């Protein structure tokens, strides 16, 4: 064991000093997954997120695609959605420089509630409206080791709301990785950003990583947006901070602490398909311990996410003011190896989630969730494994405040409401040969209604003589999925071929109140209420190949197809009132191509995406009605060229959508061509 101090760089040395008193006398013993070691062992990226043990993506009992740090750098991306748009089966919609919606295998919409996003196991999914706000994720691209894209429902393995998929962001471990880097960017649309990441380490006993970053820009021109919509869009900006610390307390015992803060402002298309500007302050704290004991690998963690939100929309006179949301999550698990063939993991989780808004909720809506889970990984034979996972969530709702007058709801409706719902994942992995792997998967995923779905409380007013309310009796959406995957290594061209065929069924789709047909409440006023509105079916195919050659060339090509059929009673009249129209609201066909080349200090990459037409929606500005907007098929091309001046200095130039000065990609403002220069310094 080494007791020497290892300080890396000037910032690393300063950070290491902060750890000195905390780490004195502690034993150094391996505990957290050393991704770098396993990558060298397997000669490819690895994951442990599905079963808790390190394995290749092709061996995992889930459809996982791993985006490496090299992939992120070569993409020229400046945001995480920039990276994801060139992944088969992923739909990315840009409604502005900072506002994007991401969906997997269809079912995308503004404020998409079906995608779970995690950073090192902590959710960054916001439960208020049930969506992901990408600018608030407090990590810099330079500190991300890999992004795991898990496709299909995986609620039993990752938690509820992982119904269309999971984006699992893994940052570098400060115990094993010393990352010290600063990046400056500047370009068109008055874009300028900067970030710095520093790591400090004390021997093998402790490590801490700090990162800071931010950006400012002028957003895309409003294009054909109505004046009332355009005036609601302010220029985006963000500033974020993140801390990640790991400490070894003794042989087999490791503790960790994480903290983050973000202050953001960005124009968005909201869940009603209207436009506004959201200002949000978020923070999070997480702590935990892992212990390798005689009864298994015990893990315990707790975290708290909090946010404060205000909305700028000057043309909406009766816009309900927003407020705050906080979630506390406590998790415990035990992973046990039983002989050479069996691994068992049992887990418990407690979740307390509440949102407070004096306007939209007229009080506080919240719920508590108690969950238990179990996973069994059985190596039936050297070439055959079976993984089964099950989870049961029990939710209990609560409300305090003033119920909307005329809704007919009572406090008892809320405080006696709740449900118990199971989910499962099952995956059979068969290595047919050294080059061929088959995966057969079955799943039942759970999408829990958002806090707003439960708790809307907007009384009738002079401007709107309609009562708008949530529904404490909402049922969760249930997603069933059957999937067959095939992976084949093609060593002759240093490539991997991947194919997936899936079929999905979603029951009890959840719709916000504006989709409902008004009913006359007990006070004689029309009432709109959140509701379960029917079911939907989807089938799809994904094909892809990715490889590289010793000559320096690399390539990828993929095709994705999804066809969706809805079975709802929505939008049967002359007015469209709700964007739950999955049959037409996603492109059926997507083709992605990429070509890159590295030689000496130079590297260059070109990426392209073509997608077929689809239907998006935009609010009319005269009521809660939507206007369909037909988005024609389009091609977008990105390119990057980089030159490594020294081992410590990298210069890059990125052209996003260089094939067109502007493209209509959504019902929002046209996406504009962007040119961005980057300077990256490692120290």
Which own/partner pairs from 310-314 qualify as long-range (CB within 8 Å, at least 24 positions apart)?
310/278, 310/279, 310/280, 311/276, 311/277, 311/278, 311/279, 312/232, 312/234, 312/276, 312/277, 312/278, 312/279, 313/232, 313/274, 313/275, 313/276, 313/277, 314/231, 314/232
More confident residue, 385 or 276: 385
pLDDT at residue 109, rounded to an integer: 84
Q: How far apart are CA 497 and CA 558, in angstroms?
A: 10
Q: Parallel, antiparallel, or unpaired for β 589-599 and 602-611?
A: antiparallel
Residue 628 pLDDT level (bands cut at 50, 70, 90)? confident
Q: What percent of the chain has pLDDT over 70?
A: 90
Grouping H, G, I as helix, E, B as strand and the rest as coil, residue 452 is helix
For residue 572, pLDDT over 70 is answered with: no
Residue 422 vs residues 24, 157, 350, 488, 621: alpha-carbon distances, Å: 46, 12, 15, 34, 41
- Bridge partners, residue 650, by sequence: 644, 680
Element (H, E) at 40: helix 35-42
pLDDT > 80? residue 657: yes
Quick: pLDDT tens for 281-293.
Answer: 999 999 999 999 9
pLDDT of residue 577: 55
Domain assignments of the chain as residue spans, ordered by start: 9-682
CATH number of 9-682: 2.40.170.20
> Which pLDDT score, from 0 to 100, does residue 58 have?
82
Can you read off the two tokens belonging to residue 264?
């953001």
- Report the C-alpha gap between 271 and 286 in whole angstroms: 29
Q: What is the pLDDT of residue 250?
A: 87
Higher pLDDT, 160 or 294: 294
Instruction: Please give the DSSP secondary-structure letter assigned to residue 272.
Output: T
User: Per DSSP, what are the bridge partners of residue 682?
Assistant: 181
Top pLDDT among 71 and 321 is at 71
Q: Is the pLDDT of residue 12 over 90?
A: no
**Which carries the bigger pLDDT value, residue 585 or residue 19?**
585
Residue 142's pLDDT is 96
pLDDT for residue 9 is more than 50: no
256 vs 290: CA distance, rounded Å = 9
**Res 227: pLDDT:** 83
The mean pLDDT of 549-556, rounded to a whole number, is 94
Q: Exposed, middle or buried, 1 (CB in 10 Å: 0-12/13-18/19+)?
A: exposed
Predicted confidence band of residue 15 (pLDDT cuts 50, 70, 90): very low
Among 293-302, 344-353, 528-537, 538-547, the minimum mean pLDDT is found in 528-537
Residue 542, pLDDT above cutoff 60: yes
Gap between the Cα atoms of 167 and 147, Å rounded: 7
Question: What's the average model confidence in pLDDT over 417-422?
Answer: 96
Model pLDDT for residues 323-348, shown as the tens digit of each residue = 999 999 999 999 999 988 999 999 99
Helix, coil or strand: residue 471: coil
């Amino acid at each position: 064991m080494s007791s020497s101090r290892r300080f890396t760089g000037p910032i690393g040395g300063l950070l290491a000093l902060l750890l000195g008193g905390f780490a004195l006398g502690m034993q150094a013993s391996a505990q957290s997954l050393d991704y770098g070691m396993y990558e060298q062992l397997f000669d490819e990226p690895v994951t442990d997120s599905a079963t808790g043990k390190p394995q290749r993506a092709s061996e995992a009992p889930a459809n996982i695609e791993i985006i490496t740090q090299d992939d992120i750098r070569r993409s020229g991306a400046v945001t995480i959605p920039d990276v994801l748009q060139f992944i088969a089966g992923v739909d990315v919609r840009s409604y502005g420089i900072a506002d994007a919606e991401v969906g997997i295998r269809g079912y995308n919409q503004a404020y998409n509630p079906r995608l779970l996003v995690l950073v090192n196991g902590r959710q960054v999914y916001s439960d208020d409206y049930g969506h992901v706000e990408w600018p608030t994720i407090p990590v810099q691209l330079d500190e991300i080791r890999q992004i795991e894209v898990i496709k299909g429902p995986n609620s039993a393995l990752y938690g509820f709301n992982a119904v269309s998929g999971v984006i699992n962001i893994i940052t570098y471990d400060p115990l094993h990785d010393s990352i010290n880097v600063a990046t400056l960017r500047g370009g068109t649309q008055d874009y300028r950003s900067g970030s710095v990441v520093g790591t400090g380490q004390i021997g093998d006993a402790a490590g801490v990583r700090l990162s800071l970053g931010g950006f400012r820009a002028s957003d895309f021109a409003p294009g054909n947006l109505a004046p009332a919509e355009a005036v609601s869009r302010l220029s985006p900006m963000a500033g974020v901070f993140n801390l990640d610390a790991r400490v070894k307390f003794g042989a087999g015992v490791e503790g960790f602490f994480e903290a983050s803060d973000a202050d953001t402002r960005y124009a968005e298309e909201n869940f009603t398909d209207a436009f506004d500007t959201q200002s949000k302050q978020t923070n999070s704290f997480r702590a935990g311990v892992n212990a390798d004991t005689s009864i298994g690998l015990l893990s315990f963690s707790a975290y708290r996410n909090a946010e404060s939100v205000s909305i700028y929309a000057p043309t909406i006179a009766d816009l309900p003011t927003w407020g705050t949301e906080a979630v506390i999550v406590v998790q415990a698990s035990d992973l046990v190896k039983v002989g050479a063939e069996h691994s068992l993991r049992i887990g418990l989780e407690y979740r307390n989630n509440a949102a407070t808004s004096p306007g939209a909720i007229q009080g506080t809506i919240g719920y508590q969730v108690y969950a238990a889970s179990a996973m069994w990984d059985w190596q039936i034979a050297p070439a055959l494994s079976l993984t089964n996972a099950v989870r049961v969530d029990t939710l209990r709702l609560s409300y305090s405040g003033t119920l909307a007058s005329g809704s007919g709801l009572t406090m008892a409706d809320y405080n006696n409401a709740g449900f118990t719902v199971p989910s499962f994942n099952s995956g059979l992995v068969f290595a047919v040969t050294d080059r061929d792997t088959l995966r057969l998967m079955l799943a039942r995923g759970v999408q829990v209604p958002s806090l707003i779905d439960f708790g809307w409380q907007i009384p009738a007013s002079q401007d709107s003589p309609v009562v708008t309310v949530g529904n404490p009796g909402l049922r969760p959406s249930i997603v069933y999925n059957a999937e067959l995957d095939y992976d084949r290594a093609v060593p002759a061209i240093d490539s991997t071929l991947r194919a997936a065929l899936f079929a999905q069924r979603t029951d009890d789709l959840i719709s916000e109140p504006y989709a409902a047909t008004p009913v006359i409440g007990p006070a004689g006023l029309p009432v709109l209420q959140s509701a379960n509105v029917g079911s939907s079916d989807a089938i799809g195919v994904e094909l892809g190949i990715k490889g590289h050659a010793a000559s320096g060339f690399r390539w990828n090509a993929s095709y994705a197809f999804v066809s969706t059929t809805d079975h709802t009673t929505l939008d049967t009249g002359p007015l469209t009132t709700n964007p739950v129209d999955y049959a037409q609201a996603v492109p059926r066909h997507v083709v992605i191509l990429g070509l890159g080349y590295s030689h000496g200090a130079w590297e260059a990459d070109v990426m392209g995406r073509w997608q077929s037409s689809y239907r998006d929606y935009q609010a009319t500005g005269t009521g809660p009605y939507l206007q369909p907007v037909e988005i024609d098929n389009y091609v977008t091309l990105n390119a990057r060229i980089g030159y490594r001046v020294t081992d410590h200095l990298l210069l890059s130039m990125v052209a996003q959508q260089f094939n067109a000065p502007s493209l209509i990609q959504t019902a929002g403002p046209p996406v504009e061509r962007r040119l961005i220069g980057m300077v990256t310094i490692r120290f």
